[in-house]
Structure formats: C-alpha cells, structure tokens
Amino acid sequence: MANERLRALEDVEKEIAMILQCAGNIVLELSKDKHNASFLDRQLVQFQSSVNRVESELSGQIRYLTQVATGQPHEGSTYSARKDCQMALNRAEYAKVKLGELGRTCEIMLDQQT
Amino acid sequence: MATQRVLPQSKETLLQNYNKRLKDDIRSILDNFTEIIKTAKIEDETQVSRATQGEQDHYEMHVRAANIVRAGESLMKLVSDLKQFLILNDFPSVNDAISLQNQQLRSLQEECDKKLTSLRDEIAIDLYELEEEYYSSSQWDSTDLPLCEAYRRRDSWASPGTSCSSAHGDREDMDEPPSQETNAQHHLNGHGTASIEKP
C-alpha cells in the first residue's frame, strides 16, 4: 500500500516534467514561420491533462494525509523478528561448521586407513 | 464520512501549507503560460517602436518562462516533501510493512529451524553408524578415550583460555585404571556414550 502511494508520487513527478516539456514544445512550435496546428493541439491537450492530473493527484494525497496523520511518532519495529531470524541463521552456520569438521575428520580417518 | 481529526497544530499547518503551495504553483504555471501565448500574438500598432516592443516581449517571455520553470521545481520539491511526510506519518502502510516484514522473517526462521531439526535427525542416524564403525575398528584401543571425550578435549584445546579444563583433562588422564572399566563398557556397548548424549 505504501509502495503504491509512493509510485503514484513518482508518476506525478514524471507528469510535472511532461508539463514543462509540452509548454516548451508549444512555444518552440509557435516560434516557427509555419505552425503545425495538429501538433499544437496535441501538445496543448497533453499540457492541460497533465496539469489537471497533477493537481488532482496531489490534492488527493494531501487529503489522505490529513485523514491519516496523527502527529505522533510510530513506535513499531521489526527488531525482535529480525533478531530471532539472525539467531536461526547463526544456528545453521554453526551446524554447517561442525559438519564440516566432522567431514574432515572422517576423511582423515579414511586416508589413514588407505 | 470521516470524522474531523484533531491534528497537532504543526501537522495541520504543514498540510495547509502543502495545499497552498500546490495551488500557487499550478496557478503560476497556467498564468505564465497563458501570458506567453498572449504575448506571442503579433500586433500591428504599438505605442513604441517595433524593436523596443520586440525587446520588451522578449524579456517578458524570458521572465515568464523562468517563472514556469521555478513553479515546476517548486512542485517537485512539494512532491518530495509529500513523500517524506507519507513515509513518516502514513501509519496504516507502515503497520502493513512492519507486519509483512515480521511475517517474512518468522517464516524464514521457522524454515531454518525445521531444516535444522530434520538435519539433526538424519545426522543422528549417521553418527550412530560412525560410532559403531569407530568402536569396532582395529584402530580403536580399549585404553583410548571414548569418542565424545576425545572431541570434547579437542574442542577445549582448540579454544584458548581454557587451561583449567585442559588441566582437568590431564588429571582425568592420570585416573586411567578406573576409567578403563567404563571404557570397556563403552567398547561392549560402543554407542553407550552417544546414547547418553543423544536428546
């Protein structure tokens, strides 16, 4: 859920860049002697839709934050689960080391016999 | 319909500030762009000479274009601030992220422990056979230490600062005759010590 909102904000950033690009393209096209009317129309529609989308998306995000924000810091953490997992991995690593030693001992014994 | 939340003054002020910045920047982009398009219109009759009017229009367009870019940058900054505010204050998603992470870590831990338990069961069978082989081999002497004791001493010699344990080990070596009987018992019942140690 958090990732979706953050991705939406990243899309908004791309839309803002699109707004500036469309504005630049329109002015560039107007500076020419012969204008391409269809190109101008397309760019203008794109510009307006991008502006509307940016405004609506950011307003929605601010409205959501107004409903959700409490002003208190969040005190949850994943420390205990992370520690337990780390201990389990340490147990596995220790078992691996001991099995390695056992294997080497068996090889030494076999070499001595041969 | 969501009830009106009572936010701390700072948070409410901050969110109102975000709203204001959004409205101002969007208005700035639209107004400046509209004015640029209006200025681009060619007028025949002007109060000043064409060159002067051209210079004035040129300068005005520059300034308005700069205003559009500034408003765009301000919107980018606003988006960055909103992302930061979201990460810090969006408790539903933070709670979801924490519970998901906890779930993943716990499942990893359970899987690890389950595999270790099955490994232990398999190794116990193999160790039984190894000890059978060891105690029935020609290399093993009745005066030798039991396998578990030999491993224990090797571990204590390998780790430094265990001089006390090695000294104890030396004393145990001197007590050979009484331990020979136990060793004989271990020889007869080759996996006796291991069976004691097995959980």
Which CATH fold topology does A1-73 show?
Methane Monooxygenase Hydroxylase; Chain G, domain 1 (1.20.58)
- Chain A residues within an 8 Å CB radius of B79: 9, 12-13, 16, 58
Percent of chain A with pLDDT over 70: 98
Contact B86 A112 (CB under 8 A): no
- Chain A residues within an 8 Å CB radius of B123: 99
For B115, the closest chain A residue by CA position comes to A92
Q: Of A13, A64, A95, which has the smallest distance from its Cβ to B76's Cβ?
A: A13
Predicted confidence at residue B138, as pLDDT, reads 65
Mean pLDDT of chain A: 92
Predicted confidence at residue B71, as pLDDT, reads 96
* Predicted complex ipTM: 0.78
Indicate the pLDDT class of residue A92, thresholds 50, 70 and 90: very high
Predicted confidence at residue B117, as pLDDT, reads 95
Contact A16 B8 (CB under 8 A): no
- Any idea where the domains of chain A sit in the sequence? 1-73, 75-113
DSSP 8-state class, residue B119: H
If one compares B147 and A76, the residue with the highest pLDDT of the two is A76
Predicted confidence at residue B190, as pLDDT, reads 40
Predicted confidence at residue B188, as pLDDT, reads 36
Give me the numbers of helices (H) and strands (E) for chain A, helices first please.
Answer: 3, 0
How far is Cα B153 from Cα B169, in angstroms, rounded to an integer?
A: 7
Predicted confidence at residue B158, as pLDDT, reads 62
Q: Of B36, B68, B89, which has the smallest distance from its Cβ to A69's Cβ?
A: B89
At A16-61, the pLDDT tens digits run: 999 999 999 999 999 888 889 999 999 999 999 999 999 999 999 9
For A44, the closest chain B residue by CA position comes to B33
Predicted confidence at residue B170, as pLDDT, reads 42
Is B54 an interface residue toward A (CB < 8 Å)? no
Token digits of residue B27? 């208005």
Over chain B (199 residues), what is each successive 10-residue block's mean pLDDT? 59 91 96 93 78 91 96 96 91 91 96 95 89 76 65 65 44 41 39 40
Predicted confidence at residue B8, as pLDDT, reads 63
Q: Which of A62, A87, A112 is most worth mutating to test chain B (most B CB atoms within 10 A of its CB)?
A: A62
How far is Cα A16 from Cα A63, in angstroms, rounded to an integer?
A: 20
Predicted confidence at residue B34, as pLDDT, reads 95
Indicate the pLDDT class of residue A70, thresholds 50, 70 and 90: confident
Q: How many CB atoms lie within 10 A of CB B66?
A: 11
Q: How many CB atoms lie within 10 A of CB A18?
A: 17
How far is Cα B50 from Cα A6, in angstroms, rounded to an integer?
A: 51
